[in-house]
Structure 1
Amino acid sequence: MGKAPVEIRVGGIDDRAPHRNAGVHGDAGDPPVVAHLMCMKLFTIGYEGATQAEVIARLKTAGVETLVDVRAVAASRRAGFSKTILGESLKAEGIDYLHLRGLGTPKAGRDAARKGRVAEMRAIFADHLAKPQAQMEYERLKALAGEKRVALLCFEADHAGCHRAVLAERLAAEDGVMVVNL
């Protein structure tokens, strides 16, 4: 779309600008969803070092409607971050939960990230994204991001060392969404 992605890193935001802005239009001939995505924000969040209550509070402050869990394994030793309990806790706070396992990084990518080998993790994840399940789930994520305020969840506090940054960068490059790292 030619629009450069913008990245903002915040600890909490109070930006409730409507993401369904009927007055925003793309270039002539752009489908309505393109114009819509060009004004969209995509949030990312990691729960490393945070409590479940802190994560949910940041999501609510940002006005997130759906948390998309992009962990390959949606289990955690950290209290409150395993799939079932996290989903139930989010629902109680008015936030939908969706686990897209196919958008999780393979074990080799997780191992590389843990060792600080971010370039290796990105290469492994790029290969993974070429697989049919990952492509299908990426399209599902893309469609959902066009309809709701979405946040991508993974473990790492620093998005730069996490595969969720790759997903966010791809959506920004393809659709001009603005990425906000909570």
Structure 2
Amino acid sequence: MRGILDVRCHAYSHKFGFSGSPLKKYAKALQLRYWHIPVLGVEPALCRHLQERPDYDRLFFIYERGLQEKQVFVERALNLLTQQPVVLLCFEADPALCHRSRLAAWLAKQCPLPIQHL
């Protein structure tokens, strides 16, 4: 079965239908699975002052360093990815400005799956 892996720290959004519970309901209606691994998200406090590229670079450096300490959760995500097609979900529209791109690259180093930004 295909699925959605929500990698936001908090599966909450002011955008209609973009919070965890509605997403889970919509996924089920589309015969998709929904998983949420909040530990793979970015703490909101780290995102407060993102304005320029160096701010994002600093955030991504901190994020990637933290992934080393979260290997149990990285392995859980890898397990999901290797069993069925899965998309990583976050809020940021631009993959270059979102931690999910860094997470996808990190996962791809451990499992040679193609990355496609939608």
TM-score, structure 1 as length reference: 0.60
Indicate if the aligned counterparts of 2:7 and 2:88 stay in contact, CA closer than 8 A: yes
2:15 counterpart residue number: 78
1:141 counterpart residue number: 77
Q: Aligned partners of 2:35 and 2:100: how far apart in 1? A: 15
Indicate if the aligned counterparts of 1:105 and 1:128 stay in contact, CA closer than 8 A: no
Indicate if the aligned counterparts of 1:118 and 1:161 stay in contact, CA closer than 8 A: yes
1:170 aligns with 2:106: yes
What percent identity do the matched residue pairs reach? 34
Match of 2:32 among 77, 87, 95: 95
Q: CA deviation at 1:105?
A: 1.1
CA RMSD across the alignment: 1.6
Indicate if the aligned counterparts of 1:76 and 1:82 stay in contact, CA closer than 8 A: yes
Matches within 5 A, 1:1-182: 65-112=2-49, 114-116=50-52, 117-131=55-69, 134-182=70-118
Q: Aligned partners of 2:46 and 2:112: how far apart in 1? A: 26
Unpaired runs of 5+ residues, structure 2, are none
Q: Aligned partners of 1:122 and 1:106: how far apart in 2? A: 12
Indicate if the aligned counterparts of 1:156 and 1:162 stay in contact, CA closer than 8 A: yes
Q: Aligned partners of 1:174 and 1:138: how far apart in 2? A: 10
Q: Which amino acid aligns with 2:77?
A: L
Q: CA deviation at 1:120?
A: 1.0
- Alignment: residue pair count: 116
| 1:70-104 deviations in Å (ceiling 9; x for gaps) | 00011000000111011111111111000001100
More strand per residue: 1
Q: Which structure would you say has the larger Rg? A: 1
